[in-house]
Amino acid sequence: MSFVRFMAPKLLGAAITLLIALSLAFFLARAAGDPARNILGEFATEEQVLAKQIELGLDKPLPVQFVNYLGQLGSFDLGKSLRYSRPNWELIVGRFPSSIQLTVVAMLIATIVGLPLGVLAALKEGRIWDRVSVFVALFGQSIPLFWLGLMFILLFAVAWGWLPAGQSGTWQHLVLPAVTLSVLPMARIARLARSSLSEVLEETYITSARARGLRERTVVITHALRNAALPVVTIMGLQAGTLLSGAVTVEFVFAWPGLGTLATQAVQFRDFSLVQAIVIVGAVSFVLINLTVDLLYGIIDPRIREQGS
Amino acid sequence: MEPLLSVRSLRVEATSSVGTIVAVDKFDLDIYPGDVLGLIGESGSGKTTAVRSLLGLTERNVRITDGSIYFQGEQVLGGGRNDLSRLRGRHVGMVFQNASSSLNPLLRINTQMRQVLKANRSDQTASDRATRIEEVISRMGFQDPGRVLRSYPHQLSGGMRQRAAIAIAIVSEPELVIADESTSALDVTTQAEVMALVRELATDMGHSLIYVTHDLLLAAEVCTRMAVMYGGEVVELGPTSEVVSSPHHPYTLGLLRSVPMWAKKAPLVGIDGTPPRVTPGFQGCRFASRCPHAVRECSVVDVEWTQTRSDHGSRCIQPEGAPLYSGG
């Protein structure tokens, strides 16, 4: 019961966020000029454009279009791609597994490296691990991903020939894009884990835990880390959401057949219907990941769990 | 009787960007089984640093630079050893000032008690531990001890939290309990209840208690002996009745005169000035600059400890000799 009370406001919030995202997707797709004209090109006649507008329902007033759009979404219809003449949903489903695969592997690398690095840095403040972690955090947050991706290709694919330069298929294809994509979340996770943990280590309940004669390992793992987890879980959720809803640059550099590449192509072909659908799928994944984070909050911290009641 | 805990010439220094200060110096203390000692001092007098040092729980910039500590006759600090962490939990339990910050917010009281037993009493089985936890929690004066065990700290009131913190501190039967300003954050009624509980538990079980506080009145009610700290040093130590009725050190007298109950008909008097910043080269009595009876010598020579009775002494060059009660 308390669980329902805890999650109900979050679900409501998620629904509102989603509605706003859907509206933005709708209006932005129409803000970049007349879609019908964009599709047909500048040499189309007025009659052709009008015919296209009627075909796409663009001749109706904007509010009517919007209501139609929402109604369509309500029946889980994402529309049809203008370029491929296939349902957007099919195109997206075809690409989604690749995106998920890339996101999951990148987040795993980021967590496996970033988290221990941040924790070590907090435990050994001012020492060598601390320096290493600060360097990784700075490097990861400031380096442009397309450049890093190109450097990886130059070294590992072109110069040494250890790994394929692009496309997908085997696990070797996954290595370079996943590593490239993991750099930013790794930096964020390391930095946040460090600051959050070093803050928690100053708390009285940590001194108190030591005074109780608990082993240092218990103090760090069950007392400090769990208390430091909330901000880290938040950033992991945000990063995973961002990656999943389209790692455009990295997918493009490595010709990875994910949502990001599909989105790039859709924009190039002025396929506003497909762009809209991809934005919607991205928004939905983002909201779902954030709901999961909210759920984790409740599991980690009993105080948050009770806020609903 | 052999002391439970002996501290000899403990010195603790704190280093910061503005330099080094001596937080605790020449700290000598003997705690006997069954002792209830009040460690009195204003904030900054070094009392908290002193007791935390006994467990090696100082902050990062604070170091023990000298001294030795013996527990049950065995040396745990000094002579190249530092086994202070061995005392934690098993031999010395600590109750902190504010239970809302000293209890882990994410763990149930039961879990926190069980962890202490697991860490310190490996001889016990799981059911021994459960029995011991029930036993301790049922003595804390809770209406529903079972509910307290199942609760997270934020689900309890301030007084209940502090009682839970006491239960956690004593669950593994330490010989010594240190209560560091443990009731200061509570309202007066709750304070009295919790204080009575601490004292009862300590004396009932034959444990010793160090009660750290700035509240002279409260300490006098509870403690059999009192140690008064000033500027990182113990300036007076004796039985409570002695210290209250015939203080040897002008600082103790100053403290007594600032308590309405003891000032009696005499006007309430505060102590002028502020405590000194004690740097490593500090010379003379630390109270000299604020002392109404100070003579020139006071700020030049290092004042030795004078034992005026077998159980009462002070760090003043004219103990009992100064006209403490006249003038001023």
Complex-level ipTM beyond the 0.85 threshold: yes
Q: Does A21 map to a domain?
A: no
DSSP state of B88: B
Beta strands in chain A (DSSP E): none
Choice between A252 and B201, residue whose per-residue pLDDT is larger: A252
CB pairs under 8 A between A and B: 76
| pLDDT at residue B327 greater than cutoff 70 | no
CATH for A214? 1.10.3720.10
**In the prediction, which pLDDT does A192 show?**
93
**In the prediction, which pLDDT does A198 show?**
92
Q: Does A52 map to a domain?
A: no
CA dist A19 and A130 (Å) reads 43
Q: Does A58 map to a domain?
A: no
**In the prediction, which pLDDT does A1 show?**
54
Mean pLDDT of B80-91: 90
Residue type, B17: S
Q: Which of A205, A226, A300 comes nearest B103 by C-beta?
A: A205
Tokens representing A42 are 């500048």
Mean pLDDT of B110-120: 95
| pLDDT at residue B326 greater than cutoff 80 | no
Q: Is the dihedral of CA B231, B237, B242, B248 positive or negative?
A: negative
Counted domains in chain B: 1
Listed as ranges, residues in chain A with pLDDT below 50 are 309
Q: Does B75 map to a domain?
A: yes
B interface residues, A as partner, C-beta within 8 Å? 52, 55, 57, 85, 88-90, 93-94, 96, 98, 101-107, 112, 115-116, 119-120, 152, 154, 165, 168-169, 172
Q: Does B287 map to a domain?
A: no
**In the prediction, which pLDDT does B263 show?**
63
Name the pLDDT band for B328 (thresholds 50, 70, 90).
Answer: very low
Q: Does A207 map to a domain?
A: yes
Judging contacts by C-beta atoms under 8 Å, the chain B residues touching residue A222 are 107, 115
Q: Does B309 map to a domain?
A: no
Shortest distance, CA B61 to any CA of chain A (angstroms): 12
Q: Does B299 map to a domain?
A: no
Tell me, yes or no, if A10 comes closer than 8 A to chain B by beta carbon. no
**In the prediction, which pLDDT does A269 show?**
83
Tens of pLDDT, residue by residue over B223-238, are 999 999 999 999 999 9
Mean pLDDT of B119-148: 92
Mean pLDDT of B117-136: 92
Shortest distance, CA A223 to any CA of chain B (angstroms): 7
B135 lies in which domain range? 5-282
CATH for B68? 3.40.50.300
Q: Does A292 map to a domain?
A: no
**Does residue B232 sit in helix, strand or coil?**
coil
Asked if B202 and B36 count as a contact pair (C-beta separation under 8 A), the reply is yes
| pLDDT at residue B149 greater than cutoff 90 | yes
**In the prediction, which pLDDT does B319 show?**
67
Choice between A59 and B55, residue whose per-residue pLDDT is larger: B55
Q: Does A245 map to a domain?
A: yes
A133 lies in which domain range? 96-271
Shortest distance, CA A213 to any CA of chain B (angstroms): 4
Mean pLDDT of B59-65: 89
Q: Does A64 map to a domain?
A: no
**In the prediction, which pLDDT does B321 show?**
53
Tens of pLDDT, residue by residue over A116-125, are 999 999 998 7
Q: Which of B260, B87, B99 has its CA nearest to residue B175?
A: B87
Largest separation between any pair of C-alpha atoms in chain B? 66
**In the prediction, which pLDDT does A186 show?**
93
Percent of chain B topping pLDDT 70: 95
Q: Does B306 map to a domain?
A: no
**In the prediction, which pLDDT does A149 show?**
87
Q: Does B123 map to a domain?
A: yes
| pLDDT at residue B269 greater than cutoff 80 | no
Q: Which of A273, A237, A308, A263 has its CA nearest to residue A98?
A: A263
Q: Does A131 map to a domain?
A: yes
Q: Does B316 map to a domain?
A: no
**In the prediction, which pLDDT does A84 show?**
84
Counted domains in chain A: 1
- Bridge partners of residue B62, in order along the sequence: B14
**Going edge to edge, which strands form the sheet with B62-71?**
B19-31, B5-16, B62-71, B74-78, B81-82
- Predicted TM-score of the model (pTM): 0.82
**Does residue B216 sit in helix, strand or coil?**
helix
Residue of B nearest to A299 (CA): B106
| pLDDT at residue B322 greater than cutoff 60 | no
Tens of pLDDT, residue by residue over B291-321, are 888 888 888 888 889 888 889 999 988 766 5
Q: Which of B322, B274, B277 has its CA nearest to residue B298?
A: B322
Q: Does B289 map to a domain?
A: no
Mean pLDDT of B62-67: 92
Strands B176-180 and B92-95: parallel
Phi and psi at residue B180, in whole multiples of 5°? -95, 100
